[in-house]
Amino acid sequence: MTGVKPLALQLCAFGPELEAGLGRMLDVVRWFELGAEQQASMLASRAGEVRSVITGGHIGCPSDLMSALPGLGLIAINGVGYDKVDLELAAARGVRVSTTPDVLTTDVADLAVGLTIDLMRGITLADRHVRDGKWPEGDRPLMHRVSGRRFGVVGLGRIGRATADRLAPFGSVRYHGPLPKDAPFAFEASIHELARWADVLVLTCQANEATRGLIDSDVLAALGPDGFLVNVARGSVVDEPALIQAIREHKIAGAALDVFAHEPHVPSELIASDRVVLTPHIASASTECRAAMRELVLDNVRAFLAGHPLPSAIV
What are the phi and psi torsion angles at 122 (to 5°)? 70, 40
Tell me how crowded residue 179 is: count the other CB atoms within 10 A of its CB: 7
Active-site entry in 33, 88, 263, 288: 263
Which residue blocks in 132-267 are alpha helix, DSSP H?
Answer: 158-167, 191-197, 217-223, 240-248
d(CA 37, CA 85): 24
In angstroms, the CA 278 to CA 268 distance is 12
- Residue 33 bears catalytic tag: no
The one catalytic residue among 234, 240, 290, 294? 234
Cβ atoms of 105 and 162 closer than 8 Å: yes
Active site residue 234: yes
Active site residue 281: yes
Break the chain down into helix, strand, coil percent, rounded to 5.
Answer: 40, 20, 40
Cα–Cα distances in angstroms (integers) from residue 153 to residues 34, 68, 114, 144, 195, in the given order: 41, 40, 15, 19, 9
Closest Cα to residue 94, out of 75, 65, 73, 76?
73
Q: Which of 58, 96, 149, 281 is catalytic?
A: 281
**Annotated active-site positions, please?**
234, 263, 281
